[in-house]
């Protein structure tokens, strides 16, 4: 998750960076990916477009970094999934937080715009997966591996596949807009994925 470095760390350039992130996310949420331009982001952020071109190579790069920043702020710097020793409780906490994030207007609009474009744009999707999505999914791998090491997840379960039992349903419901995303739903997904649908005898 390398980040483009600002040429200096003064408060002024930090303010510009923040304004550019905010403008990029707001614009893409309102206008969609195709109609968002570097010029539009610059105008909304109140900076010259050369400022943006100096720091980022492309519209996709600005947007992905704005999202990375949004995700980091949402998690308040806490990047790992908590490990209290209770896998079910830890996963419910994370999936409920994900539900809240997906339901928040500040996230929903920009995230939908980026996801929609990734669905039909393999180049953007590759960057989106590499820089944003896969690092988040690896958090699940690490938490599930800790559980597997202590007997909470069966030996032999392939963890990179298994995590999709948690993230897949939420994404399905959110992107395809089938039914409401609620905490009860998040809890049920965690319980079903951990204990399965077939009876335990």
Which stretch, 37-45, 48-56, 67-75, 127-135, contacts a copy of itself (CB under 8 A)? Answer: 127-135
Which stretch, 6-14, 42-50, 66-74, 148-156, contacts a copy of itself (CB under 8 A)? Answer: 148-156
Euclidean distance between CA atoms 74 and 166, whole angstroms: 19
Name the nearest CA neighbour of 28 among 126, 114, 105, 132. Answer: 114
Minimum separation from the CB atom of position 161 to a copy of itself (A): 5
Name the nearest CA neighbour of 73 among 103, 44, 107, 47. Answer: 107
Euclidean distance between CA atoms 83 and 66, whole angstroms: 28
Number of chain residues interacting with a copy of itself (CB under 8 A):
54
Of residues 20 and 153, the one with the C-beta less far from a copy of itself: 153
Q: Is 95 in the site for a copy of itself (CB under 8 A)?
A: no
Which stretch, 18-26, 44-52, 63-71, 170-178, contacts a copy of itself (CB under 8 A)? Answer: 170-178
**Could you please report the per-residue DSSP string of 14-40?**
HHHHHHHHHHHHHHHHHH-TTT--HHH
Positions 173 through 192 that interact with a copy of itself (CB under 8 A): 173, 175-179, 185, 188-189, 192
Q: Is 161 in the site for a copy of itself (CB under 8 A)?
A: yes
Q: Is 84 in the site for a copy of itself (CB under 8 A)?
A: no
Of residues 51 and 88, the one with the C-beta less far from a copy of itself: 88
SS3 state at 56: coil
Interface residue with a copy of itself among 93, 115, 139, 146 (CB under 8 A) is: 115
Name the nearest CA neighbour of 108 among 26, 3, 200, 19. Answer: 26
Q: Exposed e or buried b for every residue in 19-35, given b needs 16+ CB within 10 A?
A: bbbbbbbbbbbeeebee
Interface residues toward a copy of itself, by CB under 8 A: 32, 87, 112-113, 115-120, 122, 125-126, 128-129, 133-134, 137, 144, 151-154, 157-158, 160-162, 164-165, 167-173, 175-179, 185, 188-189, 192-200
């Amino acid at each position: 998750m390398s980040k483009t470095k600002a040429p200096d760390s003064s408060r002024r350039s930090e303010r510009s960076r923040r304004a550019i992130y905010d403008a990029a996310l707001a614009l893409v949420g309102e206008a969609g990916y195709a109609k968002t331009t570097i010029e539009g982001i610059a105008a909304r952020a109140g900076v010259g477009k050369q400022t943006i071109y100096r720091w980022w190579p492309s519209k996709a790069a600005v947007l992905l970094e704005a999202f990375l920043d949004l995700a980091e702020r949402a998690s308040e710097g806490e990047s790992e999934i908590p490990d209290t020793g209770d896998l079910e409780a830890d996963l419910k906490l994370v999936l409920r937080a994900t539900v809240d994030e997906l339901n928040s207007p500040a996230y929903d609009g920009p995230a939908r715009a980026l996801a929609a474009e990734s669905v039909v744009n393999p180049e953007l999707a590759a960057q989106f997966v590499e820089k944003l999505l896969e690092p988040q999914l690896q958090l699940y791998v690490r938490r599930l591996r800790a559980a597997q090491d202590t007997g909470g997840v069966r030996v032999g379960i392939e963890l990179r596949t298994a995590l999709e039992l948690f993230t897949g349903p939420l994404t399905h419901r959110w992107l395809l807009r089938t039914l409401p995303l609620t905490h009860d739903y998040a809890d049920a997904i965690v319980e079903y994925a951990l204990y399965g649908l077939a009876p335990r005898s």
